[in-house]
Amino acid sequence: MIPQTLTEAKEGKNVHLEHIEDMVFNEGVTGTRNAILFLRNLRDMLSGTSSRSINITTKWDGAPAIFAGVDPADGAFFVAKKGLFNADPQMYKTVEDVKSKLSGELQDKFLVALQEFSKLGIKSGVYQGDLMFTKSDLSKEKIKGQDYLTFQPNTIVYAVPAASSLARKIRRAKIGVVWHTTYSGKTIQDMKASFGQSIVPKLKSVPSVWMDDATYKDVSGTATFTQEETANLTAMLSHAGKIFQKLPPKALNDIAGENEFLVRLKAFNNTKVRKGKTIVNARTHVFQLIRYFREYYKKEAEKRSSDKGKQAQLDKANKLMTYFDNHKNDLIKIYEIVMLLTSAKNMVVNKLNQAGSIPTFLRTTSGFKVTEQEGYVAIDKVGGAVKLVDRMEFSKANFSPDVIKGWQK
């Protein structure tokens, strides 16, 4: 078992969507089994051999997250940020609320949201989306010789052909939003989320609000696997399943049960993403992981002023090295599963990207670079949701100092 000195209590519930391959670390045996099942169902859906037991939504790279709805307590319309679900819900029901609680550009955007979203005919419940633009965020730009109407809320630049009907709709709008989640309940605190629903048809259409929902749309009609692609994906998942069956359940569950170890392990994995490096050899990766933990606790010891504090960190390192000595081979097998799930996920993402959508670019220090959507969310029939993101594409760009973000312009 991983040393108890590395355990931290988990506070509250995790509302952050996780990458599908990280289910192996986060949820142990159950997460690994579910990740494989998710990918099998996605394979079947994209090869046309099953009914749609999984819903897919597109992850739009909007900011900030925004909520609009009706407070069950008094029937008043409101807009809100993520503080809506705090113990003391933060809602903006009037212009005075917005002006007194927000400032700067955020205040400007929420004033527009309060005025315009109130026209959508929301009678009950709450809708969550990603804010894509307000009027001042729209720009005319020439990219690779073509004229576009662009907006960039975060990392990705969305570029709409300037002469298109979509560009005309966006120019008329005062605000743009992509809805992805609905909430219902008798109080704000008791509300439950529903993912993957088609939301826009439920709302009143007004020219001043451009909106879409995140439901995946194959506008090209080409996002289906060939027989060869299906066979390759099946082979990956079968290999992952065979390794999984031979692993002691305790090896997977120990990682999921130790929060500090899990946080540090995922932090190390992200150092690879930041450098644009994939895991190509599980054994090499595990040995680098062990070195990372050894150096991490050595640095933590050096930060401590007392001998007792220094020794506590060194004791953690020593216990952890003993754990690695005893479970190194299990960790290698776990990372072999993660590598296979990542490859399978990227096959799915690449196929979903063929559906066609608004052209997307990265604004780099050396000009525009074509990129894909941020990613997708897969939702199963009982409401579980995971991220499908090509981390070598979007996550690397999100970390990169060479990619100019919307808030840096």
Residue by residue, DSSP assigns 296-337 as: HHHHHHHH-SSHHHHHHHHHHHHHHHHHHHHHHHHHHHHHHH
CB 233 within 8 A of CB 347: yes
Q: How far is CA 173 from CA 6, 110, 145, 205, 224, in A?
A: 52, 15, 26, 11, 34
Residues 190 and 231 in one domain: no
Measured CA to CA, the distance from residue 190 to residue 251 in angstroms comes to 36
> pLDDT tens digit string along 185-218?
999 999 998 887 789 999 999 999 999 998 887 6
Q: Is the pLDDT of residue 126 over 90?
A: yes
Q: Is the pLDDT of residue 156 over 60?
A: yes
Residues 209 and 231 in one domain: no
Residues 397 and 258 in one domain: yes
Residues 22 and 102 in one domain: no
Pairing state between β 175-184 and 192-195: antiparallel
Residues 207 and 274 in one domain: no
- Boundary (domain end) residue, out of 213, 231, 260: 213
* Mean per-residue pLDDT of the chain: 89
- Boundary (domain end) residue, out of 149, 179, 213: 213
Residues 120 and 193 in one domain: yes
- Boundary (domain end) residue, out of 189, 213, 237: 213
Domain count, the chain: 2
Measured CA to CA, the distance from residue 240 to residue 256 in angstroms comes to 19
pLDDT tier, 53 (very low <50, low <70, confident <90, very high otherwise)? low
> pLDDT tens digit string along 390-399?
988 877 788 7
Q: Is the pLDDT of residue 313 over 80?
A: yes
Domain span at residue 166 reads 61-213
In a domain, 126, yes or no: yes
In a domain, 230, yes or no: yes
Environment class of 243 (CB within 10 Å of its CB; exposed 0-12, middle 13-18, buried 19+): middle
% of the chain at pLDDT higher than 90: 68
pTM: 0.80
Measured CA to CA, the distance from residue 239 to residue 241 in angstroms comes to 5
Go through 61-71 and write b for each residue having 16 or more CB atoms within 10 A of its CB, e for each that does not.
Answer: bbbeebbbbeb
pLDDT tier, 116 (very low <50, low <70, confident <90, very high otherwise)? very high
Among the listed residues 139, 131, 11, the one whose alpha carbon sits nearest the alpha carbon of residue 67: 131
Q: What is the pLDDT of residue 5?
A: 33
Which tokens go with 386? Answer: 């995971």
- What are the residues whose beta carbons fall under 8 Å from the beta carbon of 109, sequence distance 6 or more? 64, 131, 134, 175
